[in-house]
A = this chain, B = another copy of it.
Amino acid sequence: MPDAPLRMAAVGLDHRHIYGQAGHMIAAGAELVCYWTEGQPETLPGFKKRFPDVPFQPLDDIFARADIDLILIAAIPADRAALAIQAMEAGKDVMVDKPGCTDMDQLHAIKDCVARTGRIWSVNFSERFEVPSVTKASALVAEGAIGRVAQTVGLGPHRLNRGTRPDWFFDRKQYGGILADIASHQIDQFLHFTGSTDAEITLARAGNYANPDDPGLQDFGQIVLQHGDCHGFIRVDWYTPDALPTWGDGRLTILGTEGTIELRKYVDIAGRPGTDHLFLVNGTKCEHMACRDVGLPYFPALIADIRDRTETAMAQSHAFKVMELALLAQRLAED
């Protein structure tokens, strides 16, 4: 008899990332059995459209259900830590949208809770876990296709989409700052591709250069980080122009001592159609690889981890370290 499917509840739908969290887990075999959210977030109609048979349930009832294994959280960033802790105290594992939390006190409380409960606190770094070309790049780097990784350069432009954004999006306290929020993706990728378990934030900047009427918004951010001989540069912004056919021209350039990988994750501007373009150049190859169908191992691995109490999808210490560095960078940028 096969294992019963993993059963999930979605708690806090405030960011549309919940669609990907739930959708990819369902595709990997999990079952979404109910949801809760505060009020009527802009994302609710889209959620109901995608998951029409999933009923609302009060929060306490969800946490009290013995048949639910995993809580998916995409609440307002500042509220995510408390929900995650409540879920873990109730014996559930957690997958939270990034940023997993918005200040160091929250992070410490989460760490304490994980230590106390033995639960999994996973952060869905969607710019890696939901991007098949990153899966391919990981395999190439692991097999030595570009030698030792000396540097990652991650550029993460995002479309502001002002009309669709709720008030919390423009409130520094609630979204956590641009580095804690979107640059946590690129910190994750730096640690992942350089094989680092730690890093020093050597420079951090955050500013608002294009949206003077939104003083709570940071629309530009930079981080430089380093671990031994591994270097990382990160830029994030909310400047994606209207004519780009997608939300952002996210790039990752991985410089190895024997080759380079460039990912044009979401668009090859004025070029090839579709997403997930990988460019490999090394001693013998100079080629484009279409990676759309390479697969997303994080989601099935998380299902296995929940069943087996392992850490194959992402080391727990990695999730903690990414958020610690992101929060540290945010603090440095604002000092």
Asked whether A283 and B203 contact (CB < 8 A) given A224-B224, A255-B235, A269-B262, the answer is no
Tell me the residues in window 231-276 of chain A with beta carbons closer than 8 Å to chain B beta carbons.
231, 233, 235, 237, 239, 241-245, 249, 253, 255-260, 262, 269-271
Shortest beta-carbon distance from A285 to chain B in Å? 5
Is A148 among interface residues, defined by CB-CB distance under 8 A?
yes
Could you say which residues of chain B place their CB within 8 Å of the CB of A287? 270
The CA-CA distance from A241 to B287 in the complex, in Å, is 13
The oligomer's copy count stands at: 2
Is A284 among interface residues, defined by CB-CB distance under 8 A?
yes
The CA-CA distance from A334 to B35 in the complex, in Å, is 56
Q: Are A281 and B153 in contact (CB under 8 A)?
A: no
Task: Tell me the dominant secondary structure on chain A's binding face.
Answer: strand
27 contacts between A and B (CB under 8 A): A147-B210, A150-B210, A150-B220, A150-B237, A150-B239, A151-B222, A151-B235, A153-B153, A153-B155, A157-B255, A203-B224, A205-B231, A209-B229, A209-B257, A220-B231, A222-B231, A222-B233, A233-B233, A239-B259, A241-B258, A241-B259, A241-B282, A243-B282, A262-B269, A269-B279, A269-B288, A270-B286
Interface pairs A-B: 6 shortest CB-CB: A210-B257, A270-B288, A243-B286, A241-B259, A242-B283, A241-B282
